[in-house]
C-alpha cells in the first residue's frame, strides 16, 4: 500500500517548459528530476558538475527528500552522485541542484530536459540518545565487512 502526500513545488523561470518530477511507473519509488540547463553541460571523466533543476520544493516537517542516481545512467555511462543519496531537509527552500559525477571512461553530455536523477520523499525518524556502558549482545557482535562471506 502506498501513502499519498501533497508537496508544494515552485517552478523557476529556468524550468519553463520542463516536466515536473514524475513517477515513470506505478510501482516507482522515485520521481525523475530533469536538467534545467540553457546549454549542454559536458562532464569529463572524473569530473563533477552541479546541474540545476529549476525547482524548489516545500518538504513537510517529518520528511526528507533523497536525491538518488538513475540506474540507467549509472550502468550505461558511469554517471552517479558523489554524495548519494543527497538529502533535502524539510527546512530547505532553495533550488534543487544535482551534483553529478562521471565515473565512466567517456565524456558525458547533459542536455536540457534530460532525466538526471530521482527524488524519493521519505519519513524521517528523530532519535534521542540513551548512553549506556554496554550494548545488548547479538550473534554477529562486532564482525564487520564480509563477515558472512562473499
At 150 the pLDDT is 67
| Residue with grid cell 545512467, as numbered in its chain | 73
Q: How far apart are CA 15 and CA 131, in angstroms?
A: 48
Average pLDDT, stretch 41-70? 98
Please write the tens of the pLDDT for every residue from 120-136: 999 999 999 999 999 99
- The residue that leads in pLDDT, 99 or 149, is 99
Categorize the per-residue pLDDT at 1 as very low, low, confident or very high, splitting at 50, 70 and 90: low
CA–chain centroid gap for 72, Å, is 14
Q: What is the domain partition of the chain in residue ranges?
A: 30-123
- Residue 88 belongs to what H/E stretch? strand 86-88
pLDDT for res 143: 75
Q: Is residue 145 scored above 80 in pLDDT?
A: no
> Residue 109 is placed in which grid cell?
553530455
Separation of alpha carbons 115 and 32, rounded Å: 6
The values of phi and psi at residue 98, to 5°, are -110, 120
Q: Is the pLDDT of residue 37 over 90?
A: yes
Q: For 30-123, which CATH class?
A: mainly beta
Tally of CA atoms within 13 A in the half-sphere of 72 that contains its CB: 6
Helix ranges restricted to H, 16-139 = 71-77
* Per-residue pLDDT, 15: 97
Digit-coded pLDDT (tens) for 57-113: 999 999 999 999 999 999 999 999 999 999 999 999 999 999 999 999 999 999 999
Q: CA distances (Å), 61 to each of 7, 21, 121, in order?
A: 11, 20, 12
Q: Are 45 and 64 in contact (CB under 8 A)?
A: no
Cα gap 58→43, rounded to integer Å: 30
Please check the confidence at residue 54 and state whether its pLDDT lies above 80. Answer: yes
pLDDT value at residue 142: 81
Read off the pLDDT band of 146 (50, 70, 90): confident
**CA nearest 15: which of 49, 43, 51?**
51
Amino acid at each position: 500500500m502506498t501513502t499519498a502526500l501533497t508537496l508544494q513545488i515552485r517552478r523557476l523561470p529556468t524550468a519553463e517548459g520542463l516536466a515536473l518530477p514524475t513517477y515513470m511507473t506505478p510501482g516507482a519509488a522515485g520521481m525523475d528530476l530533469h536538467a534545467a540547463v540553457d546549454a549542454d553541460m559536458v562532464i569529463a571523466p572524473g569530473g563533477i558538475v552541479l546541474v540545476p533543476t529549476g525547482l524548489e520544493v516545500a518538504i513537510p516537517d517529518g520528511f526528507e527528500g533523497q536525491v538518488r542516481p538513475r540506474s540507467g545512467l549509472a550502468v550505461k555511462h558511469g554517471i552517479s552522485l558523489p554524495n548519494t543519496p543527497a538529502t533535502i531537509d524539510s527546512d530547505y527552500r532553495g533550488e534543487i541542484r544535482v551534483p553529478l559525477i562521471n565515473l565512466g571512461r567517456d565524456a558525458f553530455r547533459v542536455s536540457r530536459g534530460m532525466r538526471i536523477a530521482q527524488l524519493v520523499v521519505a519519513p524521517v525518524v528523530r532519535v534521542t540518545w540513551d548512553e549506556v556502558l554496554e550494548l545488548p549482545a547479538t550473534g554477529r557482535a562486532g564482525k564487520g565487512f564480509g563477515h558472512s562471506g562473499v
